[in-house]
Amino acid sequence: MSAILEGKAAVVTGGGRGIGKGHCLQLAKNGAMVVVNDIDLEEAEKVVAEIKELGAKATACKADITSIEGAETLVAHCVKEFGKIDIMVNNAGIAKDRTFMKMTIDEFDAVMNVHVRGTFCCAQAAAKSMKETGTEGVIINTASAAQFGNFGQTNYSAAKGAITSMTFTMAMELSRYGIRVNAVSPAGTTRMSDTFKGADGKLHKMPFIDPELNGPMLAYICSDEGKYITGQVFGIGANRVWLLDHPKYSVGMLKDGGWSLEDIKKNFKKAIGNRLESLGIQKAPYPYYDGVKAKPKKS
Ligand SMILES: NC(=O)c1ccc[n+]([C@@H]2O[C@H](COP(=O)([O-])OP(=O)(O)OC[C@H]3O[C@@H](n4cnc5c(N)ncnc54)[C@H](O)[C@@H]3O)[C@@H](O)[C@H]2O)c1
């Protein structure tokens, strides 16, 4: 029996360590040929060596994923080495956590640049190549539960929300070429996860999660068995495979001719206002029914 990704050519951005490295190893173990992209070429080359040890094909490429030219260079590298591109995994990422009031615009831009711009550039370069060669390929973007809101991560949660929404739109537009677009919200103990802090601002040491555990579901989505899956976001890694609900309107009020302020004052609280959504990853009950009140200033 041949491996599920036999003959497929894949690119993984940020494949030099952490979750990206796990993706590269799993794609290779399942038959794919892999281009390991990373800004840190030395780490990418170590992953290439590990894949070659397994008897699979791999090559490293440091091209800049945050520019169209760099993304095109990366895709061209894959086509030159392996004849085409079937799978583009937009995984590279950085975190620059700080509470909103203290976050600098440079910290905001840096995170948006790698995650959002990097995903846009690489997805577009891959899709153009797939369209040109008639390859019915797949693009995997990387989301995070941080998009629900996470203390100290205005930049990162904005980036992940943008990536999730981009995934929906790209999936709608690219299906006509047979190209699928999905996102994964992974989990793993990595250099980045070691920087995650709780709402108390303290580092939270999580139990070890093998980053390679994200790979099997990734391989399944990328395989021909996953040919019907597009526009979806999956929470994967550790012991999980979750489907994320798409954002949608829930409870509401409708009135012919529209709502006057008086009508809203009369109806809003009992129809909607008593069912406000909880905030953040932990999904604690909505805590502000008594009002959003400033904390007393420290004297
Ligand atoms: N670790 C987790 O639990 C977790 C949870 C949710 C989402 N994620 C996401 O998974 C992805 C991987 O994160 P990780 O935890 O493995 O982090 P990591 O820091 O261990 O690895 C990220 C890799 O990306 C590379 N990189 C950074 N900027 C780059 C650039 N401009 N071009 C190419 N490569 C670049 C880094 O050199 C590094 O090798 C990220 O998108 C992250 O947001 C991780």
Query: In the 8-state DSSP scheme, what is residue 153?
Result: B
**Residues 252, 250: Cα–Cα separation, whole Å:** 7
Residue 21 Cα: closest atom of ligand 1: 16
| Cα–Cα separations (whole angstroms), residue 276 to 250, 273, 280 | 10, 6, 13
Write the burial class of residue 155 (CB in 10 Å: 0-12 exposed, 13-18 middle, 19+ buried): buried
Residues with a catalytic annotation lie at 156
* Per-residue model confidence (pLDDT) at position 210: 96
Q: How far is the CA of 55 from the centre of ligand 1 (A)?
A: 26
CA-nearest of 9, 194, 174 to 83 is 9
φ and ψ at residue 285, rounded to 5 degrees: -60, 150
Assess if CATH 3.40.50.300 describes domain 9-243.
no
CA-nearest of 144, 172, 98, 125 to 13 is 125
* Per-residue model confidence (pLDDT) at position 199: 67
Domain boundaries, the chain: 9-243
| Rg for the chain, CA atoms, rounded | 21
Residue 160 Cα: closest atom of ligand 1: 43
Q: Which two tokens stand for residue 112?
A: 């948006």
Per-residue pLDDT of the chain (299 residues; tens, 9 = 90+): 689 999 999 999 999 999 999 999 999 999 999 999 999 999 999 999 999 999 999 999 999 999 999 999 999 999 999 999 999 999 999 999 999 999 999 999 999 999 999 999 999 999 999 999 999 999 999 999 999 999 999 999 999 999 999 999 999 999 999 999 999 999 999 999 888 777 677 777 778 999 999 999 999 999 999 999 999 999 999 999 999 999 999 999 999 999 999 999 999 999 999 999 999 998 788 999 999 999 898 87
* Per-residue model confidence (pLDDT) at position 282: 81
The answer to whether the CB of 85 falls within 8 A of the CB of 33 is no
**Residues 124, 271: Cα–Cα separation, whole Å:** 43
